[in-house]
Structures are given as structure tokens and as C-alpha cells.
Amino acid sequence: MAQAARASDEHDRKVRQLRDIGQLAESLFWKAVRDAEKKPTLHGWRMMEHNYLEQALVGMAETLPKTVELTQVNFPDAAIGAARDARVEIVQALEKLKASAP
């Protein structure tokens, strides 16, 4: 009984983590869309969500390699494509997790 409860708790934690990662990817997508028309800066493009996403991906990098790539983009145009790929990857991971629910 306790083992089933722990498995359920771990499943719920992973779902929350994936949803948090998805929200960060979505936020980066829309900021990239907003900033794509602006003149690029000398130091590239970096948002606070890049840092939050890196932290949220701890323990999930192998599961979400495309989302990890999103943390590395430095220009809005590249972030748009990377965020699209991350969205798809996150949805697939959530569907897989749902299918394996305890």
C-alpha cells in the first residue's frame, strides 16, 4: 500500500514538473515571437526563463533533449523553432507518463 502511494506521488511530481517545463517553454516561445522583429543585441538574447528552464530540467534532460536545446538558444528566431520542438516533446512525455500512471 505504501509503495503504491509513493509511486502515485512520484507520478504526480513528474506531471507537475513537466507542466512547469511546458509553461516555461511556452513563455520563451511568445517572448521570442515578440522579440524576433527587434534588432539583435551584441550579447544575444537571453530571458530569465532560460535559467528557470535549466533548473526545471534537472533530472529530465535525457527525457527532454529538444527542450534542453531551447535553454541554449541565444536569438529569438532560433528560440521560436526550438520552443515548437520542445512543446511537442513535452506533450509526448506527458502522454507517455499518463499511459504509465499507477
Contact between residue 64 and residue 83 where contact means Cβ atoms under 8 Å apart: no
User: pLDDT of the chain along its 102 residues, tens only?
Assistant: 888 888 889 999 999 999 999 999 999 999 999 998 877 666 678 889 999 999 999 999 999 999 999 999 999 999 999 999 999 999 999 999 999 887
Q: What does the alpha-carbon distance between residue 70 and residue 53 come to, in Å, rounded to a whole number?
A: 9
* pTM for the model: 0.84
Q: Which amino acid is at 49?
A: E
Q: For the chain, give me the number of helices (H) and strands (E)?
A: 4, 0
